[in-house]
Structure 1
Amino acid sequence: MADEDFAVIGGALRQHVTVGGLLDGLEPGVRERALAWERHIREVETGCAELDGGGRVRAEYDPKVRSMAEWEAAKAGELTVRGESVSVATVRRMRARYREQGVWGLVGGRAKRGRSAVGRADERVVAAIVRCLRSGGRSRR
């Protein structure tokens, strides 16, 4: 893949749909974390942190010298040194999510589900309270 003549034959390049509207509905910290992961994943896959692919390829991600496994290990080590305990498996999992869903795949599951007006209360308890309130507080014994 490092050869200048390398090209993908027989298939269209994978395109990602923008998810700006979906990201806008997230809490700012969640959105920023997903966008930060996007920069990390792009750096692992292209060697450049810039999303446009421009810029200098860092030695840790040089395809002429290092394998993808080494790129993933370099990114995990880099993030761990920065204070985020990240494993190679996490980097690999985030790459897979990004390939499948774009930046939306980098948003944590809890943030995607949104919030309920009743929080994590059991739905049966909520239904009982609603029935009680609608009946004016009269008991049904």
Structure 2
Amino acid sequence: MRKNLKIYQRLSKVPFGRRIFSWVVCRMAPYFGSIKPTVTELKPGYAQVQIGKRRRVTNHLNTVHAIAMCNMAELAGGLMTDVSISGKSRWIPTGMTVKYVKKAKTDLTAVANGENIDWTSEGDKIVPVEVKDTEGNTVFTAEITMNVRTA
């Protein structure tokens, strides 16, 4: 089992554990801290990340900025990839295609669902991520190319 998954599982059982895990992730990859994410679910093949709509992540239209949604998509996709591959493998994102579907006017939830991806082989994996608002409307989608190699 991957180290991040063990840490998440242990921390998610204690009060504020998910926030602590999210803070630790942002310490390891500081740029993600700009969106103040909370990892709300993490398991092989699945990750869920939430961010609050706050002034720091908004644009001139008072909606969540496109790049904030890119950041949360990459975080969800990266964490999901990390806990899905074998302990001897490594990964790196090599590309991302995004679609801005609707204005993001509320808090957001990103879901990376890789349950249909073959994580046992090497090579490029296309990781789908969907971002929804509090009403369940899809506001953003991404396909992130993750290159997986055996270390």
Q: Please, what TM-score do these two structures have when normalized by structure 1?
A: 0.24
> Which structure: greater strand fraction?
2
> Which structure: greater helix fraction?
1
Between structure 1 and structure 2, the one with the greater Rg is: 1
